[in-house]
Structure 1
Amino acid sequence: MTYWKGEVIVNILGYAQKIGRALMVPVAVLPAAAVLMGIGYWIDPTGWGGNSALAAFLIKSGAAIIDNMSVLFAIGVAYGMSKDKDGAAALAGFVTFMVITTLLSPGSVEAIGLVAVADEATKLAFAKINNQFVGILSGIIAAEIYNRFYQVELHKALSFFSGKRLVPILCSWAAIVASFVLMYTWPIIFGALISFGEFITGLGDVGAGLYGFFNRLLIPVGLHHALNTVFWFDFAGINDLGRFWMAQQGLDSGEAVKGVTGMYMAGFFPVMMFGLPGAALAIYQTAKPENKERVASIMLAAGFASFFTGVTEPLEFSFMFVAPVLYVLHAVLTGISLFIAASMQWTAGFGFSAGLVDMILSAKNPVANQWYMLIAQGLVFFAIYYFVFRLVIVKFNLATPGREEAEANSGAASASGSESKRELAEKYLAALGGADNLTVIDACITRLRLTLKDRSVIDEATLKGLGAMGVVKLGDNNLQVILGPQAEIVAGEMKAIAGK
């Protein structure tokens, strides 16, 4: 019984990770909105487009992305979860979303007459049906139908509708069924989401700190993306990221508030721009003398990526599993950082992550508040991370990069800077047991996400020697290899070589 329960939990986590990976497809368009709106706010920081036609063009262009995140989630999740990443799956996601949101609009629900729309809570629930939750649900439904039916062959008389053309048709019927169910359950789900949002926002600064803590704790299993959607988008009534970039301060009580909006983003800047580079310096300085040159190249690249772009996983995975106590400390410090920034009302926002680029772009946003104090906080966090990490590493003799036993790296291959991505992909395939051992090859921003026939044959030492920051094992056959920003390129080359 215990084994069965364990398998169920693993399968649920695996599926949740699949959704989390797919969420990165629509989220990846947010930097475009941040760049457009950020430049617009720099051009016209007081009028928000009212004093400059160019600023208005840019701000409204970025707002077009933010305003339509719901349908982008439907399209992106359907595409990201489809087996072959085909546009037909994205179209099916769009069809599913449109049918559900049309049938569950207040006018449609009232006209159908199955559910009484009498009280204000029910009216509000159906008025807010165009949201990211329904977008994600639509994408999941479409992806599952696509993966099941995209190769189905119908009778010759109906052959035109075979395969991928069949999927949107089936999705429209599935959307009708889903709409019928949601007609009764959506008000309950919506009420629960709103209650959760009100609970977290009711905790104020402490709620921001708790979010930051759990955000980092979920990184190892890749479920932080799902948590982020609750706080950053209009998922539970919080919509921190959406409100920050829309910046419609004072239009109504549900819109942006200077010094408050951005509280679930601002505290990440001191950690990603300063704290983690401080940790990287501590890891370098505590490495064995003979390993310092190797560790320096890893820490310098990972630290710069964290500071400049906010991509932290290459650095975090370098100590996450070899020294888990450090990672727990990192999660605690992240929570403290978000608490401090929220309590002091120092706010800034991002479209991708809390790096230098996004800080500059958000500086002129009308609801950014004393954003420069996040730099001062960051300098303090640099010192805290450096001294805490150095003290703990030395005190407990932790096996951080460069301090491992010599034999740990024996037999590991090394990746030369001159080799092509294809050559690197071939080496990764070899370390993973060959192309025939892989049934699924995928990637998100920083990770290879793989399903293997036999995971016991992988060579972890070689993977790390090739540049992998970490290896995460999930269930019996799933594997994640942390590579950094080049993960998607390497995955593409591996697919081409393996013919998958």
Structure 2
Amino acid sequence: MKFFQRLGRSLMLPVAVLPVAAILSGIGYWIRSANGGDDNVGSAFLTAAGGALLDNLALLFAVGVSIGMARKSDGTSALAGLVSWLTVTTMLSPATMSALTGTAVEDVDAAFTNVENVFVGIVSGLIGAWCYNRFKDTKLPDALSFFSGKRSVAIVTAGVSLVFALVLMFVWPLVYGGLVTFGEWIVTLGPVGAGLYGFFNRLLIPLGLHHALNSVFWFDVAGINDLNNFLQGSEGDGVYGVTGQYMTGFFPVMMFGLPGAALAMYVTAKTRRRKVVAGILLSGAVSSFFVGVTEPLEFAFMFLAPWLYLVHAVFMGISLFVSALLPVRMGFGFSGGFIDLVLGWVNPMAQNPWLILVMGVFWFAVYFVVFRWIIRRFDLKTPGREDEDVLDEDAADAAPRSDYHATAERFVAALGGGDNIVELDNCATRLRMEVADVSQVDDKALARAGAAGTIKPGGTSVQVVYGLNVQFVKDAMEDVMQGRAPAAPDTTPAAAVVTATQAPAVVRIAAPVAGRVVRLSEVPDEMFSDGTMGPGIAIEPADDMVAAPADGIVESVFPTGHAVGLRLDDGAELLIHIGIDTVSMKGDGFTTLVQAGQRVKTGDPLVRFDRARIRDAGHPTITPVVVLNNPASRIELI
């Protein structure tokens, strides 16, 4: 599963460039159609600009996958993916096959005219990445030392790609021809056949074989010629009420269904990753709606959640089946998006096009509700929900959690060095700093060193989330900045090293303070509300006593009393933070009733606090309760 999550992440690189290219091509096509089908300067320019990427989609995947799947990638892995792609597609091109078989180019099997597809691009990228990972450190004898290391990668890649091309030389025509025969049989099934066509059209996209099936229904392979007959209108061989049945069902799903899926993926993404995925999902939805280019969205979850993609294929089949039954017909010249719908609205072959909008509203709701339920029910790793170790496994550089000096060295370096840190302090779980130059702060390096998150509130302020033992990291950072040797480890219970464990998926606790339970997203501090600190709940207190929510050990009590950290018996590391920004009250209004290292049972009092003083000081009293050692867990009150 991690392989597919990494593959899905790798596909985001080429997919991110597609929406703009699709829109440029669509507008160019729109201008050309409005000009009677003839190109002018505007349409030719826009179509060429968009086509530069869309027409080379498979090549983009070859390079992008090779970069994304390589460990500690550099330009060598991208070159390897390109070498593999060029080797395979050149070996299987009609010209090469003509030379190898002695037949005329026009007589070469049609399968080889469709070999530059996404499937070949992805496999080429995987070959390039594997060769890079395996051979980038290869050492050859002195006589061949020029070809050692990374220089050997492209050479090995070409050899492996030749083997892959040789296999495809025999397999590809059989698969391609079989699909054409299958499509010709589907034609005999009427509306059911249209539904089957829609299902397999989506199912074959990852392999690039949908073109073989499309040729049966859209062009004159089996006498249907649905696309051309629709575009020719009354001047062609189209039949009103029949022509368009193999295209109509794409419109509701492409214009409405997939944007509904994008919204579902956005609302189910982890809160702290929503900003990251919002751009690709929104641009993909716009591309799908206006132009009917669906790859940016489909490849966003195709490999991350293959079962969800199967549901999408089923929905597409149902849409084509229902459209074939209803008195609604529409066609396209580019794809099933808004632009083609507008252009085809007055086509003599169009029948009740307004029904497409009604069907679209239905499919938007279906995709949103079903995708949202399935993603949450089965914890599918759609964009923004990937496992953290998959996202960062190649860059992990964190010191052991008990080696605070090593962590401090990494933190200081990532913060731009000791000279860049003007002020250093900490609260219950995070470092609070003023730096001379915020641009020198490397968020990714901090994450690799063990930071759970970094926030820059504005100006020269920087906060780094670490966990309940942040005090020891802060002390070690001061040692590093002053050039002092690591302090001898403290053997008191408060500083004792505890073996790190991960919290369970569901942390069941009693409410630590009486009051109204609210969502963590309602906390007026983005470190809590966006999930950077960890998952959890918040409570608007109706009482002035915080009690132990479960049996465990008090791991830390902040000197100002505004926060307490617990390690529960089930392994969960819990933080209870009384109020927001209450560290500035310097203990006024807080009375701690326990000490670090003390064992507590459910209901034992931990901290007494004064709600009135907190409010008088201008701070919210809302109290977050978060799990620090498992971003995938959730709190359940008992």
TM-score range normalised by the length of the shorter chain: 0.5 to 0.7
Which residue of the other structure, out of 237, 244, 264, is the alignment partner of 2:212?
A: 237
How far, CA to CA, are the matches of 2:213 and 2:23 in structure 1? 22
Cα deviation for residue 464 of structure 1 reads: 11
**1:336 aligned partner, one-letter code:** I
**Structure 1 residues 262 and 152: alpha-carbon distance in aligned structure 2, compared to 1, 3 A threshold:** farther
Structure 1 segment 180-329 matched on structure 2, within 5 A:
180-196=166-182, 198=184, 205-206=191-192, 209-210=195-196, 227-229=204-206, 235-238=210-213, 258=230, 259=244, 262-263=247-248, 265-269=250-254, 272=257
* CA offset digits 1:352-381 (Å, max 9, x no partner): xx9xxx636874489996765422223455
Q: Does 1:124 align with 2:110?
A: yes
Q: Which amino acid in structure 2 is aligned with residue 228 of structure 1? A: I
Residue 615 of structure 2 is matched in structure 1 by none
Aligned equivalent of 2:57, options 69, 77, 82: 69
Structure 2 residue aligned with 1:94: 82
What is the alpha-carbon distance in structure 1 between the residues aligned to residue 527 and residue 75 of structure 2?
A: 26
CA contact (8 A) 2:198 2:317 kept: yes
Q: SS of the residue aligned with 1:84? A: coil
**Matches of residues 401-420 of structure 1 in structure 2 within 5 Å?**
414-415=520-521
Q: Does residue 427 in structure 1 map to residue 533 in structure 2?
A: yes
Which residue is equivalent to 1:140? 126
User: Which of 308, 311, 322 is residue 340 of structure 1 equivalent to?
Assistant: 322
Cα distance between partner residues in 2 of 1:95 and 1:254: 38
Q: Identity of counterpart residues, as a percentage?
A: 35
Q: Is the CA contact (8 Å cut-off) linking 2:21 and 2:53 kept in structure 1? A: yes
Is 1:39 aligned with 2:27? yes
Which of 32, 36, 42 lines up with 1:54 in the alignment? Answer: 42
Instruction: Map 1:162-181 to 2 at 5 A.
Output: 162-181=148-167
TM-score, length-normalised on structure 2?
A: 0.43
Relative contact order higher in (CA < 8 Å, ≥ 6 apart): 1
SS at structure 2 position matched to 1:189: helix
- C-alpha distance in 2 between matches for 1:58 and 1:269: 22
Residue 79 of structure 1, aligned match among 53, 67, 73: 67
- Residue type at the aligned position of 2:88: I
- By how many angstroms is 1:94 displaced? 1.5
Q: Which whole-Å CA distance do the structure 2 matches of 1:254 and 1:59 have between them?
A: 24
Aligned to 1:137, what secondary structure does the other structure show?
helix
Q: Is 1:111 aligned with 2:102? A: no
Aligned-partner residue type, residue 272 of structure 1: G
Q: State the distance in 1 between where 2:106 and 2:531 align.
A: 57
Contact 2:247 2:320 in 1 (8 A): no
Question: Which structure has the bigger radius of gyration?
Answer: 2
Q: Is contact 1:82–1:147 with CA below 8 Å preserved after alignment?
A: yes
Closer/same/farther in 2, CA of residues 350 and 408 from structure 1, 3 Å limit: farther
Cα-Cα RMSD = 5.9
**1:92 & 1:328 partners in 2: Cα distance?**
32
> What is the aligned counterpart of 1:359 among 338, 343, 348?
338
Give 1:53 deviation, angstroms. 0.9
Determine the C-alpha separation between the residues in 2 that align with 1:82 and 1:198: 42
Q: Distance in 2 between matches of 1:419 and 1:349?
A: 50
Give 2:419's aligned residue: none
Please point out which of 460, 470, 480 is paired with 2:632. 460
Gaps spanning 5+ residues in structure 2: where? 231-243, 272-277, 290-295, 378-505, 513-517, 537-570, 574-628
Q: 1:23 touches 1:73 (CA, 8 Å); kept in 2?
A: yes
How far apart are 1:139 and its partner, in Å?
Answer: 2.1
Gap change, CA 1:427 and 1:345, over 3 Å in 2: farther
Is the Cα–Cα contact under 8 Å of residues 140 and 147 in structure 2 kept in the other structure? yes
SS of 2:533's equivalent in the other structure is helix
Give me the whole-angstrom Cα distance separating, in 2, the residues matched to 1:19 and 1:57.
34
Q: Call closer, same or farther: CA 1:312–1:185 in 2, change over 3 Å.
A: closer
Higher helix share: 1
Length, aligned pairs only = 362
Deviations 1:50-90 (A, max 9, x none): 25311221012222323222323322332333233543222
C-alpha displacement at 1:196, in angstroms? 4.9
Alpha-carbon distance change, 209 to 30 in structure 1, aligned in 2, over 3 angstroms: farther
Structure 1: 5+ residue runs without aligned partners? 1-12, 216-223, 284-293, 295-300, 399-404, 435-456, 466-500
2:20 and 2:50 in contact (8 A); partners too: yes
